[in-house]
Structure 1
């Protein structure tokens, strides 16, 4: 890995974007290396924590690369293809977002299941000021996350939210001081890891299923879990604890 620092653990992987000279701008190398991480997590499902080095999550797509891209590159969906893959990973994805998360950096954070930040977070989509649109997920994920009126303001005016504003609209669920951010992300991961991994995977899959698939999706997932040995073990332990004198 040339652009990422990767800590590989038993129940989670922590990935740190590490291009300090560009404030972690997302270039093709980051995209390719994050695809490698996704391939690993599709084979061996674990929690993914994504953060950025140097007090910045990701300042956006690499403008030097972006300026040279043409119509055929847009149709390839280079960044959005990656973010869709990250969102679809079997286990939850946590974005620990400090400093700037702009453009493609914001869209990477939107693809996570959980987002936490710091007071100095600045998140938004100023793409129209550069003559392009937010084409890697903001135009459909952001309305789902914060509601259409605020999403429209952000993508049409380039409004950037502070950490406090992002917390108020629940775009992030927690704020922590920068030095405590990664520990807080690991605390979230600990809470997830304490649960049954198979039930967590089904919960994420059903949560992201199209509305038309409900409630059938819940029923099919529950049918599998009702036969699970882990369900029997966990419920047996619960009943034993409850029945202790």
Structure 2
């Protein structure tokens, strides 16, 4: 399925959504945001692991500057990109970003909304917004401290510094650097698909919960899983395999 600015492909183990404006370095415009909302609605109703990628060797060079230039205070208060990226992050199943080339500005913030980020050696990631007279306001100011710590986030956001793949790995912005990030993302999605979907969703909910909710939320989520037929089936199979050795 193609939805304007997103090329969406459904597979058994995952859904692949490719930002598809290569002539604009996959700049995130209003149509992209609309397509992301439509895709999120689908994945909220039918959960599946989502892989985000970009066409033409680039993830996303940023938000569409021509549209940003025309936005005013009321647009900022609507949180146009922030709302869409928050919805991506809140999806029931994991979100994996396959990053190559530029992931700048809004592109970086969309990547930060993913649960897992894998990168090609070509990656250049960061938030240059202050050079354009604005700030990173679609998630970087709260997600980046959670990902890499306040000191790293302050360094990057207050200097508009762009990182290469090796430094992004060292600072924890990505978890893997590989020659083919899309193939790696697919392998991760297939690994996830072999696990219990309910357990994965419970784990993601627990990961997203504030520290004050732990350990209560872990016990609540585990109590549901302890009563599931899938837990019984998987543990029985494990014990039977061990007994046959």
Question: Normalization by structure 1: what TM-score?
Answer: 0.98
Q: Deviations over 1:44-99 (max 9, x none)?
A: 00000000000110000100000000000000000000010000000000000000
| Pairwise CA distance, 1:106 | 0.1
Please tell me whether the aligned partners of residues 121 and 177 of structure 2 are also in contact (alpha carbons under 8 angstroms): yes
Looking at structure 2, the residues matched to 4 and 84 of structure 1 have their Cα atoms a distance apart, in angstroms, of 18
The equivalent residue for 1:136 is: 138
The equivalent residue for 2:173 is: 171
| Higher alpha-carbon deviation: 167-176 or 26-35 | 167-176
Q: Is the partner of 2:177 in helix, strand or coil? A: coil
Give runs of aligned pairs for residues 9-28 of structure 1, distance below 5 A.
Answer: 9-28=11-30
| Pairwise CA distance, 1:238 | 0.5
Counterpart among 113, 118, 121 of residue 119 in structure 1: 121
Looking at structure 2, the residues matched to 3 and 57 of structure 1 have their Cα atoms a distance apart, in angstroms, of 13
Looking at structure 2, the residues matched to 197 and 117 of structure 1 have their Cα atoms a distance apart, in angstroms, of 25
Give runs of aligned pairs for residues 190-229 of structure 1, distance below 5 A.
Answer: 190-229=190-229
| Higher alpha-carbon deviation: 163-172 or 23-32 | 163-172
Please tell me whether the aligned partners of residues 152 and 171 of structure 2 are also in contact (alpha carbons under 8 angstroms): no
Q: Deviations over 1:75-132 (max 9, x none)?
A: 0000000010000000000000000000000000000000000111000011111111
Looking at structure 1, the residues matched to 193 and 10 of structure 2 have their Cα atoms a distance apart, in angstroms, of 15
| Pairwise CA distance, 1:181 | 2.0
Give runs of aligned pairs for residues 47-86 of structure 1, distance below 5 A.
Answer: 47-86=49-88
Q: Is the partner of 2:26 in helix, strand or coil? A: coil
| Pairwise CA distance, 1:34 | 0.8
The equivalent residue for 1:244 is: 244
Counterpart among 140, 154, 157 of residue 156 in structure 2: 154
How many pairs align? Answer: 243
Q: Is the partner of 1:58 in helix, strand or coil? A: coil
Q: Unaligned regions of 5+ residues in structure 2, if any?
A: none
Looking at structure 2, the residues matched to 156 and 111 of structure 1 have their Cα atoms a distance apart, in angstroms, of 20
Runs (4+) off by over 6 Å:
none
| Pairwise CA distance, 1:11 | 2.9
Question: Normalization by structure 2: what TM-score?
Answer: 0.98
Looking at structure 2, the residues matched to 100 and 161 of structure 1 have their Cα atoms a distance apart, in angstroms, of 10
| Pairwise CA distance, 1:182 | 1.2
| Pairwise CA distance, 1:168 | 1.1
Q: Is the aligned partner of 1:104 residue 2:106?
A: yes
Q: Is the partner of 2:176 in helix, strand or coil? A: coil
Q: Unaligned regions of 5+ residues in structure 1, if any?
A: none
